[in-house]
A and B are shown apart, each in its own frame.
Chain A
Amino acid sequence: MIAREMFEEFKAKFGALILRADLPNDHRLFVFIDRSAVRSVCEYIFRDLNARYVVSIGADDRPFSGDFLVAHNFALDHDNVLCSVLVHLPADHPIIDSISDIVPAASWAEREMRDLVGIEPLGHRYLKRLVLPDGWPEGVHPLRKDVRWDEVPESFDENREFRFDDPPAGCTVVPFGPFHPTLDEPAHFRLYVEGEMVRGCEYRGFMVHRGIEKLAESVMSYNDIPMLAERICGICGCVHSVAYVQAVEEAAVLKPPPRAEYIRTIMLEIERLHSHLLWVGLACHIVGFDTLFMQSFRIREPIMWIAEKITGNRKTYALCVIGGVRWDIAPEMKTELRAVLDKLESDWRPVVSAVSHDKNIQKRTRGVGVADPALVKNAGLLGPVARSAGIGIDCRHDHPYAAYDRVDFDVITERDGDVWSRVLVRMKEVFESIRIIRQCLDKMEPGPLQLEMKDELPVGRMGLSSVEAPRGESHHFVITGENNRPRRWRVRAPTYQNLQAIPNMIKDQQIADMTISLGSIDPCFSCTDRLETIDLRSGTTKVWSQDELLKLTQAKKVRP
């Protein structure tokens, strides 16, 4: 089914409730519907068409159309169609029917919409604050266009604390986080524990929400944003930068030159290689198997070196611009990259065979943190988590982008949906990535790296892009705008969906399994926002406030 056929079906079923549609190509469908039909249309797409929920987006469109805008995005993975269901909401009455009881995976996105844009999801069962800090006043929604990007409301109370829900009767609370040796970034899980068994948990994250979307929509330009997008994540930065430029390119109907597409593919796969090797190491460290942790880091290091040789950096490659890439892969670099891949393959094979036959690791990971296909569907789980449950979704295969339609590779799946299956999936995907890079190196033709662009980008166009990050699909949604920058840019990282299923995955398991279950989705939170220094001479402790830190960074001092 292509997008046009899908639209015909919608019209036949919902008639006048479908207002209009935008069909830029066979693989994209933007359909505007009446606000009363949101639930029935979403239910039809999610249940009857068996689509995968991607994300919901709220946008303040008042300066342009006078309305608020809500988009529910779905993916039809078998048909290579990404579909966006859009609803206009009147400026004085931004309320929309919640779809979170039909599509449980939409819960966070609707809460975020309420926090940041002030669109009320009617009928949502758990409307606790998700993104905004606890001291942030009610009624100020940072993503509205009338709020400045650097505005901090006067009534903001920095010291106000989060109020947790009451634990169920008979359970004690074990705080997991905000800082914990196995969490590389701050996030707080309050585990409700009976003896050694976890009965439930509450999550409070977004402690380091950096307002990247707002920053991009307010002060940056189209070609600055790839550099910013890259800094969303410390591991899969290139994914975000590619996803963003692809979304813009799609909105503006641009096609980058083939060589640029190959180079993007190669760098994405290099990133997947280093991410998967890192993950296998960390997973082993979590279960106390440090030898494999060290070995996989040793094997990983040459990948970082070759990335540095190609782009000048071990990470944050600064690769993409709209319509192309900035770095070329020279012939001598090709030879070197091939050698690195050969070495990696021969180093990795014994590790895989050692781990596959290790009873000890299996004991700790089999039957742990299980996500069954029903949970994958309802919570919208992605990447290795979905593939380990036997659901072979992979954007590289389902919604090919860059040069993935020109290379041959297998989508690795397992059946059990537990941590062990995730270990296997990731270990085997390393070989697929090597295969993809080799094919790209063979097929790459000389040619330009960037598109020549003479005109300004069109205004008010929408673009969607899904890129398969090491952890699952990264989805970017862009509405192009004035002043050489997008009007709305929404990023949905894979952890956003996968993290929502953690309470289900750890329920009725041991505390000891919590860390590896959480680790198995390869979570990705973000960097710190507060720090403490101690004056050695006087021995006094000083906690830096957000304000002081901000001043410190703006003064461009090297060190306090």
Chain B
Amino acid sequence: MNGDVIWMIGRGLLNMGLVLLVAPFCQGILRKTTARIQSRQGPPVFQPYFDLLKLLGKEDIESGETPRMQRFAAYLTLATALTVACLVPMGIAAPMNGAGDVILLIYLLTLSGICTLLAGLAAGSTYSLVGISREMMSMILLEPLFAIAIVVGAMHAQSFRLDAVLNGSVYAISGFPWSGLLLLAVMLLSFQAFVQRVPFDISEAETELMEGPLMEYSGPKLALFKYAQMAKLVIYSGLFVNLFVPWGSGLMFPLGWLLFWAKVLVLVLLVTLVAATHARYRIDQAIRYFAGLLAIAMGALVLASYGY
């Protein structure tokens, strides 16, 4: 093995560790801010770390219809999230640049949705089945949105390389970036759905479906799922920042890096604010909403292919 590969893997692991470290903190910020909006005291910012530790230390109960698949789904969902973390630049250049391209990224993002389906199937209860049917319906419309954003970036950048695409490439044309700005709007409007927060937490909807696909999860397996969800918030925010808010990423090491995380934090606060001021949509309303966004995104794709 030569030094480059070790350096690459090292930086990938560094990214992974960073996401694992920061994700509960972002969740803590989210919970604390929500509490303040709701005139509550709220849990300490570091509470999510303790929650995860507590869950990890609990008895590992086998339940649901197919416990093996349930376990597998829990491992897979966190593994997927962490693999994505290896590929996405987190304030420094994409760590595993040569190891995959943006097409792999699109696949991995879809895989994390599949994990939820697996979890729901494994539980086998009516509620979790309703939950995954909702998840599937929204996935069909949601996944193409991110894919289109990445593809448009790739078209503008004339490359599938991670470092080329995930660096504000949606605006990278000589003229006015119509397609990029359209996609920015689309992604902003659907961002809550990607990170599965109100008003689009439809597949889990505690008051309707009792957590849907997750209803049979407890203890360490639940911890993995929760961890993956927290990680997703950070990763999707990172992706969003890379694709749409690249300004300042070229600054010197500590500055560019700090700026990146500041942007991620702002995005997390935005998610919190939207979640705290909205009611949950019904699945048919959400589908109609996503379909509208998808139509706009398709329009942006067409514009991009004509060089706008």
A295 adjacent to B39 (CB under 8 Å): yes
Complex CA–CA separation, A175 to B209 (angstroms) = 11
Check A21 for interface membership: any CB of B closer than 8 A: no
Check B252 for interface membership: any CB of A closer than 8 A: no
B38 adjacent to A513 (CB under 8 Å): no
Check A411 for interface membership: any CB of B closer than 8 A: no
Interfacial chain B residues near A364, Cβ < 8 Å: 279-282
Binds B, one of A104-112, A155-163, A234-242, A286-294: A286-294
- Of chain B, the residue at the smallest CB distance from A196 is B283
Q: Count residues of chain A with CB under 8 A from any CB of chain B.
A: 31
Query: A181's contact among B134, B199, B207, by CB below 8 Å, is which?
Result: B207
Complex CA–CA separation, A364 to B282 (angstroms) = 7
Interface centre among A174, A175, A290, A293 (most CB of B within 10 A): A290
Complex CA–CA separation, A263 to B276 (angstroms) = 40
Which chain B residues numbered 216 to 271 have a C-beta less than 8 Å away from chain A? Answer: none
B282 adjacent to A360 (CB under 8 Å): no
Complex CA–CA separation, A288 to B276 (angstroms) = 9
Interfacial chain B residues near A513, Cβ < 8 Å: 282
Known: A360-B279, A510-B283. A286 touches B38 (CB 8 A): no
Interfacial chain B residues near A512, Cβ < 8 Å: 202, 205, 208, 282-283
Interface centre among A288, A289, A290, A510 (most CB of B within 10 A): A288
Check A361 for interface membership: any CB of B closer than 8 A: yes
Complex CA–CA separation, A174 to B133 (angstroms) = 14
- Of chain A, the residue at the smallest CB distance from B200 is A288
- Of chain A, the residue at the smallest CB distance from B134 is A196
Interfacial chain B residues near A293, Cβ < 8 Å: 38
Interfacial chain B residues near A514, Cβ < 8 Å: 208
Interfacial chain A residues near B276, Cβ < 8 Å: 290-291
Contact with A along B143-162 (1 / 0, CB 8 A): 00000000000000000000
Shortest beta-carbon distance from A293 to chain B in Å = 8
Check A248 for interface membership: any CB of B closer than 8 A: no
Check A51 for interface membership: any CB of B closer than 8 A: no
Complex CA–CA separation, A175 to B278 (angstroms) = 28
Check B174 for interface membership: any CB of A closer than 8 A: no
Interfacial chain B residues near A175, Cβ < 8 Å: 126
Interfacial chain B residues near A11, Cβ < 8 Å: none
Complex CA–CA separation, A291 to B39 (angstroms) = 9
Complex CA–CA separation, A433 to B206 (angstroms) = 33
Complex CA–CA separation, A218 to B202 (angstroms) = 51
B199 adjacent to A288 (CB under 8 Å): yes
Shortest beta-carbon distance from B112 to chain A in Å = 22
Known: A174-B126, A175-B126, A290-B38. A181 touches B278 (CB 8 A): no
Shortest beta-carbon distance from A539 to chain B in Å = 10
Which chain A residues numbered 165 to 223 have a C-beta less than 8 Å away from chain B? Answer: 172-175, 180-182, 196
Interfacial chain A residues near B283, Cβ < 8 Å: 196, 510, 512
Shortest beta-carbon distance from B269 to chain A in Å = 15
Shortest beta-carbon distance from B57 to chain A in Å = 15
Interface centre among B37, B201, B278, B279 (most CB of A within 10 A): B279
Interfacial chain B residues near A288, Cβ < 8 Å: 198-199, 201, 205, 207, 278-280
Known: A291-B276, A291-B277, A364-B280. A286 touches B207 (CB 8 A): yes
Interfacial chain A residues near B279, Cβ < 8 Å: 284, 287-289, 358, 360-361, 363-364
Check A316 for interface membership: any CB of B closer than 8 A: no
Interfacial chain A residues near B34, Cβ < 8 Å: 290-291
Check A498 for interface membership: any CB of B closer than 8 A: no
B282 adjacent to A172 (CB under 8 Å): no
B130 adjacent to A174 (CB under 8 Å): yes
B199 adjacent to A360 (CB under 8 Å): yes
B284 adjacent to A196 (CB under 8 Å): yes
A294 adjacent to B40 (CB under 8 Å): yes
Check B55 for interface membership: any CB of A closer than 8 A: no
Check A461 for interface membership: any CB of B closer than 8 A: no
Check A438 for interface membership: any CB of B closer than 8 A: no
Complex CA–CA separation, A358 to B279 (angstroms) = 10
Known: A174-B126, A180-B210, A181-B206. A287 touches B38 (CB 8 A): no
Complex CA–CA separation, A290 to B201 (angstroms) = 13
Complex CA–CA separation, A288 to B277 (angstroms) = 10
Interfacial chain A residues near B284, Cβ < 8 Å: 196, 510
Interfacial chain A residues near B210, Cβ < 8 Å: 180-181
Check B2 for interface membership: any CB of A closer than 8 A: no
- Of chain B, the residue at the smallest CB distance from A197 is B284
Shortest beta-carbon distance from A244 to chain B in Å = 34
Query: B207's contact among A172, A174, A285, A294, by CB below 8 Å, is which?
Result: A285
Query: A515's contact among B37, B202, B207, by CB below 8 Å, is which?
Result: B207
Which chain B residues numbered 115 to 143 have a C-beta less than 8 Å away from chain A? Answer: 126-127, 130, 133-134
Interface centre among A182, A293, A514 (most CB of B within 10 A): A182
B207 adjacent to A291 (CB under 8 Å): no
Complex CA–CA separation, A360 to B206 (angstroms) = 18
Interfacial chain B residues near A289, Cβ < 8 Å: 198, 278-280
Known: A298-B39, A364-B279. A511 touches B199 (CB 8 A): no
Contact with A along B39-61 (1 / 0, CB 8 A): 11000000000000000000000
Contact with B along A528-558 (1 / 0, CB 8 A): 0000000000000000000000000000000
Contact with B along A506-526 (1 / 0, CB 8 A): 000011111100000000000
Contact with A along B281-305 (1 / 0, CB 8 A): 1111100000000000000000000
Shortest beta-carbon distance from A364 to chain B in Å = 5
Complex A-B, nearest 4 residue pairs according to Cβ-Cβ distance, in ascending order: A288-B280, A294-B38, A289-B279, A287-B279
Q: Which residues of B contact A (CB under 8 A)?
A: 34, 37-40, 126-127, 130, 133-134, 198-199, 201-202, 205-208, 210, 276-285
29 contacts between A and B (CB under 8 A): A173-B126, A174-B126, A174-B130, A175-B126, A181-B206, A181-B210, A196-B283, A285-B207, A287-B207, A287-B280, A288-B201, A288-B278, A288-B280, A289-B279, A290-B34, A291-B38, A294-B38, A294-B40, A295-B38, A358-B279, A361-B279, A363-B281, A364-B279, A364-B280, A364-B282, A510-B282, A512-B282, A515-B207, A515-B208
Instruction: Given contact pairs A196-B134, A286-B207, A289-B198, enumerate 12 new A-B contacts (beta carbons under 8 Å).
Output: A196-B284, A287-B207, A287-B280, A288-B198, A289-B280, A294-B38, A360-B199, A364-B279, A364-B280, A364-B281, A512-B202, A512-B205
